[in-house]
Every structure is written in C-alpha cells, then in structure tokens.
Amino acid sequence: MSVTTQNVSGVDRWFSLTARGSTYSREIRGGVVTFFTMAYIVVLNPLIIGTAKDMNGEFVGGTTDVVKAITMVTAATALIAGLMTILMGAVGGPKWDSVPRDKRPEAGLLRIRKELDVYANLRPAFCFPALAGASALKPELVEGLDIMIVRELTSGVYFGQPKTIEQLPNGERRGVDTQSYTTSEIRRVAARAFELARGRTGRTGKFPGVLSCEKSNVMDSGLLWREEVTKLHAEQYGDVKLDHMLADAAAMHLVRAPKDINVLLADNLFGDILSDEASMLTGSIGMLPSASLGEPGVPGLYEPVHGSAPDIAGKGIANPIAAILSLEMVMRWSLGRADVADRIFAAVGKALDDGARTADIGGTMSTRQMADAILKHL
C-alpha cells in the first residue's frame, strides 16, 4: 500500500489550515470581513446608541451630554471589539418588509454569521424559580428546567443554493430553498454539543447526554446528520449518552417532559424552531440569550434570541433580560470570566425573586426599571 504525503508549509502547520479543512483564501477573506465588521461596529455603534435618548430624555449612562455618552459607548465598544466579541441587539422591523430580501437587516445578520463562521449557536433555556408560574406549562413541568440547545448556524436551508422564486411557463410561481449539509459541518457542531454535555453531568432525565434531532425519515440531509453524529459519538464521545429523535417528536417532548433533556442538538432550521418553542417554557422569549461560536480565535457573536418587537419599539417596556444574559454568556464563553458571569446570572435571579417583572412576564416595569433592579444586585 502506498501513502501519498502532501507537502504542507510552516504557516499551514502553525494555523492548522489543512487539518481544519480551511484554505489561505478562506482565512484571508475571513480576516478582511472580521476587520471591516469590527471597524464598522466601533464607529457606528456609538453613533446609534450614544445619541439615543431614553424615556426620561437622557443618554446612555444617565447623562444629558451627548459627547460624553458617545465617548462612553465608543470606549466600551472598542474594549469588547478588542476582546474578540460582538454583542448585538435585535435587528429587523416592518419598514424593511418591502425592500429586496438581500437588503434586509436579517440578510446582513446571516452574512455576518456565515463570514465569521460562527457555526455553533448556544441557546440556554433556563427557568428561574421565580418564573415557574409564568411558563406556558404547569410549574411542576418547568421547575428546575435547564436545557442547552445547540443549533447549527452557518449552513442548512438558510444558506443552501439554489434559493429563488421562479416563474413557471404555466403562469405559476415556484419557491425553492435548498437544505444541504456536509460531513464536516455536521461533525464540528456535534462535537460542541458532546463537549457541552461532558460538562453538564449529574442529569437524571431520560436524555442526560445529547439528544440529536432531525428528520431522517424523510430527508436525506437528516439521514446524513444522524449517521455522522452517530459515527462521531462512537469515535470520540462514547462516555456521553447519545439519543436520536425526529424533530417533530422533539417538539412534542419539549412540552410534555422538557426536563428530560440536557443538551439538544439540531440543524439550523429545526434548532431555530425548537429553541423558540423552548423560550416559552422559561416564561418569555425575552428571557433567552444566545452565543454563536466558531473555532478558537474567531470572534463570538452574542445576541438575544428574540426579534426586534416592532409593536413595542420605543415604548421602553421591552424585557432586557435576554440582552443582559447575552452579556453573561460573553463573560463565560469568550472572556473566560465565569466569576463575572455567575454574578450577572445571580443578579437576574435575585431581581426576579424580588418581584421585578416586565409586562411579558406578568409585571409592569419599564426596561430601565428592570435593568436597575438587576444592577442593584451586582
């Protein structure tokens, strides 16, 4: 048997390009996109946030000096950018409904995710004890709920080609979306799920390890997903229990016995749907943060799971907890400050224990009042 050895340069070995399935051109494109993304954020973020007044007519930080507000936001943005992290708010709104799809904010967000290659989207669904009564389910079904949903974020039907609406000869129109996954795309996000499950021990539910969800009964991409997750488990993660479930069955299980699940792994589309469903178990979609992670050295992208809620925009009544807990995830997953993350998480819990509530979780507090109630415990 002959073995062919490929000549690999020192740069390739140092950055593990071939080992990671990457190329020089891909790394250069990623670097350029990252640079301009960060530069864009450092300039634009202060101009947007620093010049916006709250319901009391004050700028960020409680000041009435716009220059001071912009300076503070610029310093904070530069610090976070320098630490390889992007913390975002929700994007979107009805004013973009009539523009071409590729010009909408959501398209820009998808492009950022793809170019940064933040393929593993972590969406924790945790029910704080004080909010068990605010859940869509009976309190006994959600008390102690703690699920980590791992959603593949940079492939699947949201990115597959062709994607089009075409005119047919008979006068009808046909919409086309393409669901596509490769072996490496599946294995790398599955590895994240297995690693997370390794650190979340002591679970006693029916699925204490990783529950992988797809539609392998009717979709070839789902069958490939199940096969590759199973292979990876046998090769590297035999110490973690692996279960498979069809995505529609998983949707039912989430409302029947959600505490059975520890780590739920799914593709882009099913992960999106199942995590939104799980948000209602916690009391409100305004409670769920997310972290989108790539390979080491790639900026993490952090944002609330919820949308821009145009019906309440500008009213100062949105729940800030998902955004605050997204910062908690920044500290935990990008900055290595689990101690600070624990303090933020505990402060949210204490504020809820005190009865602090915005309208979506049964209260009357404004966004600022809710944030102040949390800050009081930091």
The residues, any chain, with a CB within 8 Å of residue 334's CB and separated by 6 or more, are 83, 84, 85, 291, 299, 300, 302
Q: Is 97 a catalytic residue?
A: no
CA distance 17 to 23: 6
How far lies 124's CA from each of 37, 235, 264, 280, 316, in Å?
A: 26, 27, 10, 12, 25
Tokens of 114: 């793809």
From 113, 82, 125, select the one nearest 292 (Cα to Cα).
Answer: 113
Tokens of 261: 């699940």
From 342, 296, 303, 326, select the one nearest 195 (Cα to Cα).
Answer: 296
**Which is catalytic among the residues 117, 267, 272, 360?**
272
DSSP label of 364: -
Tokens of 319: 């729940």
**Which is catalytic among the residues 117, 119, 158, 259?**
158
**Which is catalytic among the residues 65, 220, 248, 354?**
248
Reported for 269-273, long-range contacts at CB under 8 A and 24+ positions apart, including other chains, are 269/156, 269/157, 269/158, 269/179, 270/213, 270/214, 270/215, 271/121, 271/123, 271/149, 271/150, 271/151, 271/152, 271/153, 272/151, 273/247
Q: Is 117 a catalytic residue?
A: no
**Which is catalytic among the residues 117, 181, 215, 360?**
215
Q: Is 272 a catalytic residue?
A: yes
**Which is catalytic among the residues 12, 276, 350, 372?**
276
CA distance 338 to 327: 12
Q: Is 215 a catalytic residue?
A: yes
Q: Is 158 a catalytic residue?
A: yes
End-to-end Cα separation, the chain, in angstroms:
64
Q: Tell me the residue length of the chain.
A: 378
Catalytic residues: 158, 215, 248, 272, 276
